[in-house]
Structures are given as structure tokens and as C-alpha cells.
């Protein structure tokens, strides 16, 4: 059974940085597309970024400015995926979730989430 454990959330002032990390276990990491989603209070969960086992990272067009501020990366040797978040804004405040999925099989697994709060 796939397990995902996130870490790295916290509170930061606007303009600050955080690095989220997700450790994958229970299956073959390199088979999975890895993604970060987020859910703000009262809003639906939304995709932030994803990265295939081998390939160019992709960033959600619906999340304003994310491509210039956030960077998703993965380490297939360490079974980890990270989300480096720079120039954070109050609107980035949300619970961030790690997701592992294999689209052709319909498999999808979630971590427990980590809170990110951006406030002065």
C-alpha cells in the first residue's frame, strides 16, 4: 500500500520561502506521477504542480504566477518529491497535499497534508 508523508509546512511572512517534502513508500516510486495539490479554507482542492517519472514538470495555469515562484522536483533514488515555494503570498495559504498517481490505472494516493500559512 502506497504511503505518502509530507513535511515542511509552517508559517512565513509574505515574500518568504518554504520547501515541502513528501516521502513515498509501499510501491515503485518511478512508476508514479507525483503532484502537489492545495486546499484553502472554503475552496476546492486544486492542482499546483506535477512531475512525471521522467519529464518536464508541469504547473497549473489556474494558480496565478505559480510557475515563476514554485518549483517541483523529484528524486527517484530517494523516493521523494519536493515543492520549493518562493515569494509566497497570503493567497498561497492552504493545506498542501502530496499525491501519487498512475493515470492509466486510475490509481491515486494522498498524503495527510501539511499546513502553509503566509501572513504578516
Q: Give the pLDDT confidence of 42-84 residue by residue, as tens digits.
A: 999 999 999 999 878 999 988 778 888 999 999 999 999 999 9
What average pLDDT score do residues 25-44 get? 95
Mapping DSSP onto H, E and C, the string for the chain reads CCEEEEECCEEECCCCCEEEEEEEECCCHHHCEEEEEEECCCCCCEEEEEECCCCCCEECCCCCCHHHHEEEEEECCCCEEEEEECCCCHHHCEEEEEEEEEHHHCEEEECCCEEEEECC
* Cα angle for residues 11, 17, 21 (degrees, 5° grid): 85
Q: Residue 120: what pLDDT?
A: 94
Residue with the larger pLDDT of the pair 67 and 95: 95
28 pLDDT more than 90: yes
Q: How much is the pLDDT for 112? A: 96
- What rounded mean pLDDT belongs to the chain? 94
Is 25:9 a contact under the CB 8 Å cutoff?
no
pLDDT for position 104 = 85
Work out the pLDDT band at 25, boundaries 50, 70, 90.
Answer: very high
| Predicted confidence band of residue 106 (pLDDT cuts 50, 70, 90) | confident
Amino acid at each position: 500500500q502506497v504511503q505518502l508523508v509530507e513535511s515542511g509546512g509552517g508559517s512565513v511572512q509574505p515574500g518568504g520561502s518554504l520547501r515541502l517534502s513528501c516521502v513515498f513508500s509501499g510501491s515503485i516510486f518511478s512508476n508514479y506521477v507525483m503532484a502537489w495539490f492545495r486546499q484553502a479554507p472554503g475552496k476546492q482542492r486544486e492542482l499546483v504542480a506535477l512531475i512525471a517519472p521522467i519529464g518536464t514538470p508541469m504547473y497549473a495555469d489556474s494558480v496565478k504566477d505559480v510557475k515563476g515562484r514554485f518549483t517541483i522536483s523529484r528524486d527517484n533514488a530517494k523516493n521523494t518529491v519536493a515543492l520549493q515555494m518562493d515569494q509566497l503570498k497570503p493567497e498561497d495559504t492552504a493545506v498542501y497535499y502530496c499525491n501519487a498517481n498512475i493515470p492509466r490505472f486510475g490509481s491515486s494516493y494522498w498524503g495527510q497534508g501539511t499546513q502553509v500559512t503566509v501572513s504578516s
